[in-house]
């Protein structure tokens, strides 16, 4: 059938270009998260290619229409290339996207439900009770991947200078840190604490799979209410990664920091790592994560402290900051090396 050009109708120039790319980027972020979750990103990273017709994952068939659409979207984003014979290989942006996969999984799978309801949640009348939902298993996995780039190597470097006998990880998420640290030496006892049942399930399963139950325990508890307890209080290293902001607002954070002093009187170090709130408006230099991290926490009503506010809380909470390390990934991330103030 002949297709007629429209005449006399004003052309919509914005259907391509910057604003159109914002729309497609949202779709690409979802596609990237799914590609990671389906194990296909890892397969391309290790095997170099996947064939669209045979892209099952762990024996589970993937719908071919969905897979084609995901790969087409990722091809638009230059993450993959799809050949005429339906072979999917690395695109020019694959390595960067692979390095950033945790950020996408955190945002899309972990916080997607929350972000998609932003308009509803923004109304004050809708912000009571359990007014939002997140997939905490995905948040834990995304956080682990986010930490792999710089946080974990920095931790290993700091821990190599300390005598780690018993380590407690507050907000342990997937449990990867306690597992890794316990695996490095048989003499180490490690304990992970998390408030989320999903995270505790995930971490406990990982510990059992690796047969580390003699050295690693996972406990379901609120790190803000820990008291002296012989099971945990002989720990000499305490870690707390990407959850310190859950201690805030200020007075509650100071109270928690003081309570941690009582719960862990033998602590040589409290190693706390978190992303701080930015203090200048977003611009062309804004890095990955910043906008997502700040919007997600604003939606949840969780206060994000600045670097300066953390400094005051440590002093008032009875901890001396021995060193501060600035991270590049995640940006605005800092690792605070704290000791009990005397
Ligand atoms: C962003 S995740 C970080 C997970 C892990 N620390 C990591 O580095 O991958 C934050 C974790 O802290 C947990 N969490 C939040 N508030 C908590 C609290 N008050 N007590 C214990 N865990 C808490 C959450 O359930 C979640 O698993």
pLDDT tens digits, one per residue of 243-296: 999 999 999 999 999 999 999 999 999 999 999 999 999 999 999 999 999 999
pLDDT tens digits, one per residue of 291-313: 999 999 999 999 999 999 999 99
The helix (H) or strand (E) run that includes residue 251 is helix 250-263
The response to whether residue 201 sits with its C-beta less than 6 Å from ligand 1 reads no
3-state secondary structure of 252: helix
Atom of ligand 1 nearest to the CA of 247: 19
In the chain the beta strands, taken as DSSP E runs, fall at 49-51, 80-82, 87-90, 166-170, 189-194, 216-220, 237-241, 269-275, 319-326, 333-340
pLDDT band at 59 (very low <50, low <70, confident <90, very high): low
**Residue whose CA is closest, atom 11 of ligand 1?**
171
Q: What percent of the chain is modeled with pLDDT above 90?
A: 91
Whose tokens are 């200020």? That residue is 250
Atom of ligand 1 nearest to the CA of 240: 6
**Residue whose CA is closest, atom 13 of ligand 1?**
171
Atom of ligand 1 nearest to the CA of 151: 8
Tokens encoding 293: 């991290």
The response to whether residue 138 sits with its C-beta less than 6 Å from ligand 1 reads no
Q: pLDDT at residue 2 above 70? A: yes
The response to whether residue 80 sits with its C-beta less than 6 Å from ligand 1 reads no
The response to whether residue 178 sits with its C-beta less than 6 Å from ligand 1 reads no
pTM score:
0.93
Atom of ligand 1 nearest to the CA of 146: 9
Calculate how far, in angstroms, residue 67's C-alpha sits from the geometric centre of ligand 1. Answer: 33
The response to whether residue 136 sits with its C-beta less than 6 Å from ligand 1 reads yes
Calculate how far, in angstroms, residue 228's C-alpha sits from the geometric centre of ligand 1. Answer: 21
Calculate how far, in angstroms, residue 139's C-alpha sits from the geometric centre of ligand 1. Answer: 9
Calculate how far, in angstroms, residue 194's C-alpha sits from the geometric centre of ligand 1. Answer: 6
Asked if residue 318 lies in contact with residue 341, where contact means CB atoms within 8 angstroms, the answer is yes
**Residue whose CA is closest, atom 5 of ligand 1?**
173
pLDDT tens digits, one per residue of 95-117: 999 999 999 999 999 999 999 99
Question: DSSP per residue over 13-72, as a string?
Answer: GGGSSHHHHHHHHHHHHHHHHHHHHTTHHHHHHHHSEEEGGG--BTTB---HHHHHHHHH
Asked if residue 83 lies in contact with residue 265, where contact means CB atoms within 8 angstroms, the answer is no
The response to whether residue 222 sits with its C-beta less than 6 Å from ligand 1 reads yes
Predicted pLDDT at 57: 55
The response to whether residue 192 sits with its C-beta less than 6 Å from ligand 1 reads no
The response to whether residue 181 sits with its C-beta less than 6 Å from ligand 1 reads no
Calculate how far, in angstroms, residue 11's C-alpha sits from the geometric centre of ligand 1. Answer: 50
């Amino acid at each position: 059938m002949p297709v007629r050009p429209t005449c006399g109708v004003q052309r919509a120039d914005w259907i391509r270009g910057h604003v159109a790319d914002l729309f497609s980027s949202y779709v690409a972020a979802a596609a990237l998260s799914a590609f990671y979750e389906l194990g296909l990103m890892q397969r391309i990273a290790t095997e170099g290619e996947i064939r669209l017709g045979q892209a099952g994952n762990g024996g589970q068939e993937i719908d071919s229409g969905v897979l084609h659409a995901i790969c087409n979207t990722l091809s638009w984003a230059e993450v993959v290339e799809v050949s005429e014979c339906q072979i999917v290989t690395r695109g020019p942006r694959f390595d960067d996207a692979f390095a950033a996969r945790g950020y996408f999984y955190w945002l899309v799978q972990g916080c997607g439900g929350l972000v998609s309801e932003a308009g509803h949640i923004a109304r004050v009348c809708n912000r009571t009770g359990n007014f939002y939902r997140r997939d905490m298993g995905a948040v834990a996995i995304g956080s682990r991947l986010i930490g792999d780039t710089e946080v974990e190597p920095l931790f290993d470097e700091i821990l190599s200078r300390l005598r780690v006998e018993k380590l407690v990880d507050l907000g342990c998420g997937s449990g990867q840190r306690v597992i890794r640290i316990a695996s490095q030496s048989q003499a180490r006892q490690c304990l992970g604490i998390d408030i989320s049942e999903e995270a505790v399930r995930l971490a406990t399963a990982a510990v059992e799979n690796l047969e580390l139950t003699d050295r690693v325990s996972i406990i379901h508890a609120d790190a803000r209410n820990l008291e002296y307890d012989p099971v945990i209080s002989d720990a000499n290293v305490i870690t707390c990664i990407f959850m310190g902001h859950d201690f805030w607002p200020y007075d509650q954070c100071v109270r928690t920091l003081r309570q941690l002093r009582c719960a862990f009187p033998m602590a040589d170090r409290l190693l706390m790592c978190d992303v701080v709130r930015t203090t200048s408006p977003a611009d062309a230099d804004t890095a990955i994560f910043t906008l997502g991290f700040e919007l997600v926490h604003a939606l949840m009503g969780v206060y994000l402290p600045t670097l300066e506010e953390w400094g005051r809380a440590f002093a008032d909470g009875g901890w001396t900051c021995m060193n501060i390390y600035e991270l590049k990934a995640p940006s605005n991330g800092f690792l605070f090396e704290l000791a009990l103030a005397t």
